[in-house]
Structures are given as C-alpha cells and as structure tokens.
Chain A
C-alpha cells in the first residue's frame, strides 16, 4: 500500500466524520509520511508501520461516539486520588459531538461499559430461566446421576449374593463356578463405579460452571 492508497482508505473509513475533521486527521498522517520519507523510508514502509487504516479510523469514530463516556471514566478514576479542584474535573468531560452518528460505533461502548438496565435484565432472566426450566432440569439430571449409582451398587450386591449364596447352599464344583461369576460381577461393578465417578465429577463441575455463569450474568448484566 502506498501513501495515496493509505490516505484514500482512511478517508473512506472516516466518512461518518465531518469534512473538516477528516482533513484535520488526514493532515497528521500526511505529515507522518513526509517525516518517514525524510528518515529514508519508502511510502510502503511508512504505510505498513502505520497499521491498518480502517482499524485506525475505527479508533477515531469510537472515540467521538464514546467521548462522553470516556470523559466520565477519567473523572471517576481521578476522583479518589485527586486533591481538591472539582472544577478541573468538570472540564474533563468533553462536549457532546453532534456529528458522531449514534449507530456507527454501537458495538464498542456497549462492550466496555454496561448500563444499569442490562444488569437488572440479567438478574431477571437468570431468575426466570432457573425458576421455570434451568433449576428443574439440573435437579432431574442430578436425580438421574444418583439413580445411575444404583448400577455399580446393585452389581456389587448381586455378585456378593451369588457368591455367598452358592457357597452356603451348594456343594462340589458349583460354589467355585458361582464364586467366579460373583467375582466377575463385582469387577464389573468396579468398572461401573469408576465410570460413575467420572460422570459425577463432570456433572458437579458442570453445575459449578453453570452457577458461576449465572452469577456473572447477574453481576455484569447481559
């Protein structure tokens, strides 16, 4: 990309701004190209060093759209540390700029600062969802997990019963055969137990993540 291409792309991307604003901004970059070339760089090298022009344009547009908010931020940060001079803080809030169209930079300020309303919305949605669906779903899933634990437990009990029963009631080869059967059932119960251990472990972790997610929604809003 050479100088003209860079400036043209930047100018295009800055189109939401007024013409005088645009010229003012572009003049900074024209000067930068000149200084770069005086330092022995080619236009292409300077353009590459400057970065993506549309990305840069976004910084200006977000700037103007978010000017009011960032001004308030600065004043808020300054508050605890600054000694006195409330008048200088008041000046820090820049005037609202009429030429920044509200629609162009909606994304950025919204992601940086959540309005109070969205937090209330977050809490309401979390409570409603959990009351009508989420909590019941989790409860039934928990019941299912607990019920599944019956598999290893009953396998173990069954194996034990087969073995003990055979030893007590039969004679000859039969107790040996049934003992083997009982042992293999108990081994199977061990495997099922290990499986259930992992199922429970991940289920509990899932619940923890879900609770954290809900808490985050309540705290930070949607």
Chain B
C-alpha cells in the first residue's frame, strides 16, 4: 500500500502545484522537497507518468539564462483528476482524523 499511497500523494501535490500556474521541473521539485521528505529526482518519474496519462502537457520556454525550460501545464483531464484526488484526500484524511481522535478518547 505504501508505494501506491506515496505515488498517489505525490501526484496530487504535483497537480496541485500546477493548478495555480505553469511551472518547470526544478521549480516543482524545489517546492515539493521543501515540505515533504523525498529526493528531488522522485518528481520526474511522476511528471512523466502524468504526462503519459494526458493529465499534463509540456512546452518549452526560453529562460533568462538562455537555455529553454520545459514547462508543465494541466490539461482539462488533469484538472478533473486533481479535483477527484483532492476530494479523495479530504475524505481519507477526515477518516484518519476520526480514528486518531477516537483513539485518544478511549485511552
């Protein structure tokens, strides 16, 4: 369960970051690793999978440094999937909260 779970949460986080605006890989990795204890590299397989599943598309855009950067953007399908994941996450964490509080009461 844990691998699937972690994958799912990472997908959710990546999609959520892209919901506010388009970002490039390094940016996404930096935002994620600030809060979650994963290595930067973990982000790229997730991005790739999401792109293959048509939740994201990418485009190249010139950066100040000169070299083009690959920006990722959500597709309509990706937005739909994100709202589904968010809903699922809310329900799941609410259930966990209930269990945690229930456990505290009984002790």
Taking Cβ atoms with an 8 Å cutoff, the residues of A that contact B are: 25, 27-29, 31-32, 34-36, 38-39, 46, 49-53, 55-56, 59-60, 63, 67, 70-71, 73-74, 77-78, 81-82, 88, 91-92, 94, 108, 112
Q: Which residues of B contact A74 (CB under 8 A)?
A: 53
Please report whether the interface of chain B is mostly helix, strand, loop or mixed according to DSSP. helix
From the candidates A29, A32, A34, A56, name the one contacting B65 in the complex (CB within 8 A).
A34
A56-B42, A78-B84 as given contacts; A31 in contact with B26, CB under 8 Å: yes
Do B41 and A56 touch across chains, with their CB atoms under 8 A apart?
yes
Q: How large is the interface on B (under 10, 10 to 19, 20 to 34, 35 or more residues)?
A: 20 to 34
- Which of B24, B44, B70, B80 counts the most A-chain CB atoms under 10 A from its CB? B44
Interchain residue pairs with CB less than 8 A apart (14): A28-B25, A28-B70, A32-B29, A32-B41, A46-B40, A49-B29, A49-B33, A49-B39, A49-B41, A50-B40, A52-B39, A60-B48, A71-B53, A108-B3
Taking Cβ atoms with an 8 Å cutoff, the residues of B that contact A are: 3-4, 24-27, 29, 33, 38-42, 44-45, 47-49, 52-54, 65, 67, 69-70, 77, 80-81, 84, 87-88
Task: Select from chain B the residue with minimum beta-carbon distance to A6.
Answer: B41
Q: Which residues of A contact B80 (CB under 8 A)?
A: 88
From the candidates A29, A73, A81, name the one contacting B44 in the complex (CB within 8 A).
A29
B13 to chain A, nearest CB (A): 16
Alpha-carbon distance A189/B50, docked complex (angstroms): 70
Task: Select from chain A the residue with minimum beta-carbon distance to B58.
Answer: A28
A51 to chain B, nearest CB (A): 3
A176 to chain B, nearest CB (A): 55
A130 to chain B, nearest CB (A): 28
Q: Which residues of B contact A88 (CB under 8 A)?
A: 77, 80
Alpha-carbon distance A91/B41, docked complex (angstroms): 28
Alpha-carbon distance A122/B40, docked complex (angstroms): 40
Alpha-carbon distance A31/B27, docked complex (angstroms): 11
Other A-B contacts than A70-B49, A73-B4, 7 sampled, CB-CB below 8 A, are A29-B41, A35-B25, A49-B41, A50-B40, A55-B41, A60-B45, A112-B4
A63-B48, A78-B84, A81-B88 as given contacts; A31 in contact with B40, CB under 8 Å: no
Alpha-carbon distance A59/B6, docked complex (angstroms): 12
